[in-house]
Structure 1
Amino acid sequence: MKMFCESPVSVRAVCAAAVLCVGLGLSMGTPARAQGGDFGEWLQDLRSEARGAGISERTLDAALAGVTPNPRVIELDRRQSEFTLTFEQYRSRVAPQSRIDRGRRLYAENKPLLDEIAAAYGVPARFIVALWGVETDFGRNTGGYSVVRSLATLAHDGRRSDYFRKELLNALRIIDEGHITAEAMIGSWAGAMGQSQFMPSSFLSRAVDWDRDGRRDIWTTRADVFASAANYLKNAGWDGRYTWGREVRLPRGFDRAQLGLDTRKPLETWARLGVRRADGGVLPVADITGSIIVPDRSGGRAFIVYDNFRSILRWNRSYYFALTVGYLADRIGGN
C-alpha cells in the first residue's frame, strides 16, 4: 500500500510503518506552496470530473466544501529525512518486545475471529496481526490528517498529480458508497487510511465487509480490518502452505553475486552451497525455492526468503518492512 518507501534503509520506510511519524522534529521552515495553478479553479475542474464519474453532489459538497491546500503535507512530501538506519535499528524500533507482547495479547483476545478469517483466506493469523502492529501499532496510530484534504493537496501540487488525483476520486467514491463520512476519513499525510493503512485504490479493490453491515470499515471494525489485510495478501499471491523465510548463516566465501530476489534455488541447493540456519543447523527439508537477501548494503544479517515474502513486499516495497513483519509474526506465533 505504501508508495513512498524509496529506500529500505531510510526513515521514510519507518514512517511508512507508522511508528516514527510523530516526534521526528521536522522543521516547518517556510511553508511550501502548491504549483498546480489556482486551487479554486483546479477544485472546480476536479468536481466536474467526479460528477461525471457518478459521484453525487451531496458527497462533493460534504467532502470538498471549504477544502484548502495543506502546506504541511507539501512539506512532508518534499522534505522527508534521508538519514539511514541499519536493519537492527529499524527492527528494534518497529518491533520492540513491548509490541511483541501486545501482539500476543491481541492475538489471543481475537483468536476465534482471526482463525475464522485465516481459514477463509489461507493466510495465517499471526501475519494479519503483525501487519496490523507494524502499520498502526494495532490501530492506535492511524494518522491525523484529513484524507480528502491531503490527497487534494498532493493532486494539485503537480509532482505526482495524476496518481493522487485518481486516489482522490477513489476516496470520494468510498465516501459516496457510504463506507465512511468525509469528516471521519482520517489517515496519513499521504492518504493511507485506517488501521490497515490502505490507499483508496487498495480499499476499493481489497477491503472486505466481513461483518456484513454494508460498510467496509477499516477504521473501527476489527473484523473488516483483519479480513481486508488477509484478502490483500491472498491477492498478492500468498501460499498458505509456506511461511515467509528465515534468518540464515552464509558460508565463508559465499558468492555475493547470488544475493537478491532475482536468484531462486531449491532449499537443498542452498544447503549444498553451505547455507545454514542462523544457529548453524541444517536447513529444513522442503520442496520450496528461496532467495538469499542481505538487507544492509554493507553486510550484516542474511535471510532466505520465499514467495510469501514477495507477497508482503507488494504491501510495502521495503526489505526492512517485509522482514520485520515476518519477524513480528513469528514472535507473535511463538517462534
Structure 2
Amino acid sequence: MLKLKLILSMLDNPEKFLKIFLIAIAVLALFINLFIVTPTMFWKHVPMGKSQAEYDYYLKGAEQIQEETGIAVNWQYIMAIDAVILDHNFRKASQERAYSYKPYFIREEIITVEKTCTNDKGEEYDCSYTETVYHLRPFDETLQMLVDDRHIKPDQIQDVMDKVQYVIEVTDGKVKFVGGPDEDGESGDGIGEFQPVTGTMGWPTENHITRITSPFGWRTHPITGVKKLHRGMDIGTPMNTNVYAALDGEITKAGWDSSGGGNTVIIRHADGMVTKYMHLNSFVIRSGSVKAGQLIAKSGNTGGSTGPHLHFGVEINGEPVDPMMYYR
C-alpha cells in the first residue's frame, strides 16, 4: 500500500520523479566507477603491491643492477613483469628475485681495448686489455627473451606493456601517478613524463629519462620568440646523459650545427629515414655504422639551448615527423 502511494505521488509530480530518477542513475554510475571500473583500471595498469616493502624489492633490485653495471633499469619494468608472472602476489617477491632479471635487461659485451705502452728502455709493447661493457636491452627484446625462456607466454606481453604505460611513484605503499599532459609547469608546452614503449625504434637516451619538455609541432621559439615548427621533441636530460642510436644506421654527420643545433649527430637509416640528436656535450663515435642502442654521444646544452636537454628529430625523405609516433 505504501509503495502504491509512493508511485501515485510520483505520477502526480513528474518533476520530482525525474529528479529522483536522475539521482539514482548518478549514484549507480558513481558506484560502478568507484568499485568496478577504477579497481579494474588499477589492476590492469599498475603493479599492485600491498605494502611499501613489496615495491622496495624492485627499487632496490634496480639500484643493485645500476651499481654493478652503471646502467639504470626502470624498477617499474621489473615489477610489471612479476605482476604478470606472480599475478600480483608479491608475497613471493624479493630483492634477489628482482635482481635476477638483470640478464634480461642488461647485455654484457667483452671488448678489447688496444693500448701501446713504453717500458723503461723506451721500447713499445702491446699492453692491450679486455673489459666488460654493459648495454641496456630494448624492452621488447627483454620480453621476447622471457617468452623464449618460458617465464611468460606470448599473449602476456601486452599485459606487461599495459603496466608500464604510466609512470608511478610510491610512498608509504601508496601509488601516485606522475607525468601526463602539462605537468611540467610550462603553460602546456611539454607533455610531462610517459613510459616509452619501444618497438621498431629504441629510446634515444636512458629509459627512465622520459620528461618531454617540448613536443613536436608549432611553438613560439624560447629564444627568438618567433612561432615556427619544432622539428623534433626535447627530452629533459641532465648534462652528460648517455645518448643512443635509435636504429641501425650510418652516421652522416657528427659535428657543429650552425643553425642552432650545437653539437649534432645525424644518422641515416633504411627507407629514407634520418634521426637527429642535437645540443650534445660530446661525441662518443663520429663516423661509420652504428647499431640500435649503441652509445653515440653525451647530452648537453650546446647551440641554441636554454638548458640541458636532448633534441631528438626524425625525418622521412627529408620531411620531419613526430618522433612520439614510434613510442606510443
Name the TM-score class by shorter chain: under 0.3
Structure 1 or 2: larger strand share? 2
Say which structure is richer in helix.
1
Give me the TM-score of the superposition, normalised by structure 1. Answer: 0.27
- Structure with higher Rg: it is 2
